[in-house]
Amino acid sequence: MTDIQIFHNPRCSKSRQTLALIEEKGISPDITLYLETPPSAEELGNIIKKLGISARELLRKGEQDYKDNELKNPALTDEELISYMIKHPKLIERPIIIKGANAVLGRPPENVLSLLN
């Protein structure tokens, strides 16, 4: 087991590139296929805190679920947005890389290097 975890979507080029960067450093991360096994609301809330962003900043705004559920509405709370992300994990921006109390988004993939150094 490693102390690096990646919330990964193998169909996403940025996610694949980020995973490759981690593996190039000789690290075999714990891979969570979040579309198959979405995090719980508590887990996602903790991830958002580690990222230092709001729930809204973690949303993939180009997804149809974003439009269908009118998630642009500024009145929606972080808790409500997290609930939508759990129900529709495609809404979660990816990849997310976690090491201990820190996390980064792999957009661009080189962001992961700050966690590995």
Report pLDDT digits (tens) over 41-95: 999 999 999 999 999 999 999 999 999 999 999 999 999 999 999 999 999 999 9
**CA-based angle 28:34:71, to the nearest 5?**
140
pLDDT of 117:
78
User: Structure tokens of 20?
Assistant: 């490759």
Q: State the residue range of the domain holding 13.
A: 4-109
> Is residue 47 in some structural domain?
yes
CATH of the domain at 35: 3.40.30.10
Q: Which two tokens stand for residue 114?
A: 């700050």
Residues 110 and 116: their CA atoms lie apart, in Å, by: 10
- Total-model pTM: 0.94
Quick one: CA dihedral 71, 75, 78, 79, positive or negative?
negative
Residue pLDDT, tens place only, 25-41: 999 999 999 999 999 99
Residues classed as catalytic: 12
Largest interatomic CA distance in the chain: 44
